[in-house]
Chain A
Amino acid sequence: MATPATIVASQPIAPEQASLWSDAWRKLRRNRLALAGAIYLTFVVAVALTALVYTPYPMAKVGVGIPYTGPSPEHLLGVDTIGRDVLSRLMVGAQVSLLVGVGTQLVVLAIGVPIGLGAGYFRGWFDQVMTFVINLFYGVPNLLVALILVFLLGPSLTNIIVAIASTGWMDMARLVRGQTLSLRERDFIEASRASGARPAKILFGHVLPNALGPIIVQATFGVPAAILFEAFMSFLGLGVPPPMPSWGSMAADGIVAIRIAAYMVVAPALALSLTLMAFNFVGDGLRDALDPRQRR
């Protein structure tokens, strides 16, 4: 049936098609808090990378300045209790925090995503066993489990990442399982199955890309949680072993001198809080941008 051109032109023009990602990017750019958070995080990453090749003083060297002296042109953030440069240690501490935060989420993704995909897609005994294990892990407070693990494995960067990831994978697994459960009923999955695709192809080629939005949001919120955990453990003396600085252990070292040299604890505490806040803002922004339920 031929349609006169005039009628076509008077039809309301359909909203411009935008893919999920370009739409999300547009929304994210408009979110000022998320943008500020992202800029700050870029700065933190830059500092951490700089610290690989340059710090004002060697971070572990004792006696580069007079202990307990506050900020000065030579030591921008002062000198700690045994004469180490606080700024240098803060810069290396950024590496530790980012490594723990991102490393933990990589482990969480590596464990949680396959388990969630498998449990959601195949159902059956695997799903039941995994749901049971997940609920088991939810039953115990995660910080205590992480502390027990680090205590038993011994404090090291890898062990901390393992310990935190082992208490955080359930959220990811549960999320991916839920997404898979709803996606597996969709027509395009059915079509793919009918055309003879193997489960691995369906799961990683079709289900995973469509569940990517919530996964990214979840991982973004997981990073600050992991950083917080690490700071917490370092504060208790179960974090990265010295002389490696961590913002948590720097705050713990500084708190004994809080009366006479508050800068020592304020510097790492501020760095930590700002980083956590930035991740939370970016996470909020990503959730608003990527969560289809909030789309108009």
Chain B
Amino acid sequence: MFTRGTLIYIGQRLVLITLAVLGVSSLVFVGVHRLPGDALFSEHLHGTQYELTLHHYGLDRPLWQQYVTFLWNMLHGDLGESLVNRGVPITPIVAREMSVSAEVGMVALIVTVGLGMSFGVIAALRQNTWIDYVLSTTSVIGYSMPNFVIATFLILVFGVWLENVTQGNFFYQIGWPGRYGSIGAIWLPAFALGFPSASIVARMTRASMLEILQQDFIRTARAKGLPTATITIRHALRNALIPVVTVLGPLAMAIITGGVVVENIFGIPGLGKEFATSILNRDYNVVIGVFTGYAALVGLTNLGVDLLYVVIDPRIRY
């Protein structure tokens, strides 16, 4: 499956990802240093104390020297030090938050594909019945609703309303235990993140299932007496998967960008939460770090999806 060519391809892609990450962080670095005001500004430091702090961060040197140092440190995996929490290195924070965001995104992607495909298959098998109409309407609503709206309604239903109905015995408690959360904490944000994409998957699956169920080889399979379940899963669904696989990349991107907001709503300590906090604090070093983290996350996800194509579709070779 992974030939030598594939390995070379992975190597090339990793080089490209590194370049893209450097490009994004350089852009943000230059942009951020043109902005007025910084985290130090709000501390009302004066005189020697202010200059010492500037010197500590190298902010008293010319911009090009700062940039060279920044690039050099970046290449060594060092993103510098937070302007607000003095002495705290950014790299381990961003790395940890990336893994949390990736975890939530992965679960959301599983929700997306699982839910979307089952809805699509059911709607196709029960075409033009009330089940089909309910599922199709749900998916139209799903892709029209921004995920923070879905998240809000989910919290209202599972957090607030359910608590009132069951007198506080059974409801969704907003919170994120430990570093990577728990199954009880992750399912709702994953659902909120995955639902809009699941609607798209459901629509595509339904359409391609309907098309494939019309084809001759399905009639042949039926004629030779195969059970319906086998026909649906082994013959129809397998072929209906192909268009779904092609949108996996864009869907994964939608989930990553969606995470920026959903993490903030559910209080998940991922990159998205850090993004909002660091911008609010004007902690520019962390802002650069977060954008760098996102660039890396996006690059690696795209690479992962492309490699997944090789696994799913044997015709694809790199």
Contacts and interface: CB of A to CB of B under 8 A. Distances in A.
Contact of A152 (B31, B140, B159, B256): B31
A224 B144 contact: yes
Contacts of A235: 148, 261
A273 B145 contact: yes
B141 interface: yes
Contact of A236 (B144, B145, B152, B264): B264
Contact of B149 (A142, A151, A273): A273
B279 A144 contact: no
B294 interface: yes
A141 B140 CA distance: 24
Of B149, B155, B159, B276, most A-chain CB atoms within 10 Å? B149
Contacts of B28: 148, 152
A259 interface: yes
Given A259-B160, A262-B156, A237 B279 contact: yes
Q: Is the interface of B mostly helix, strand, loop or mixed?
A: helix
A143 B257 contact: yes
Interface string B261-285: 1001100000000011001100000
A269 B152 contact: yes
B226 to A, nearest CB: 35
Interface string A85-101: 00000000000000000
B270 to A, nearest CB: 14
Interface string B136-151: 0000110111101100
A105 interface: no
A175 interface: no
Nearest to B301: A141
Contacts of B287: 151
B298 A141 contact: yes
Interface in B279-307: 279-280, 287, 291, 294-295, 298
Interface string B22-38: 00100110011011000
A255 B152 contact: yes
B153 interface: yes
A232 B146 contact: yes
Nearest to A152: B31
Given A237-B280, A258-B152, A265-B152, A143 B145 contact: no
A296 B20 CA distance: 47
Contacts of A266: 152, 156
A119 interface: no
A181 interface: no
Contact of A232 (B143, B148, B275): B148
B260 interface: yes
Interface string A226-253: 0010011001111000000000100110
B40 interface: no
A267 to B, nearest CB: 11
Contacts of B140: 277, 280
B146 A276 contact: yes
Contacts of A191: none
A276 B148 contact: no
A144 B298 contact: yes
Given A143-B257, A144-B294, A277 B146 contact: no
Nearest to B145: A273
Contacts of A1: none
B186 to A, nearest CB: 19
B253 interface: yes
B316 to A, nearest CB: 20
Q: Which of B146, B155, B260 has the most CB of A within 10 A?
A: B146
Interface in A263-289: 265-266, 269, 272-273, 276-277, 280
A265 B151 CA distance: 11
Sorted nearest first, the 3 A-B pairs with minimum C-beta distance are: A143-B257, A152-B31, A277-B144
6 contacts: A144-B294, A148-B24, A151-B279, A238-B279, A269-B152, A277-B145
Interface of B: 20, 24, 27-28, 31-32, 34-35, 140-141, 143-146, 148-149, 152-153, 155-156, 159-160, 253, 256-257, 260-261, 264-265, 275-276, 279-280, 287, 291, 294-295, 298
Given A144-B298, A236-B261, A276-B146, 7 more contacts: A141-B257, A141-B298, A237-B279, A251-B149, A255-B265, A276-B145, A277-B141
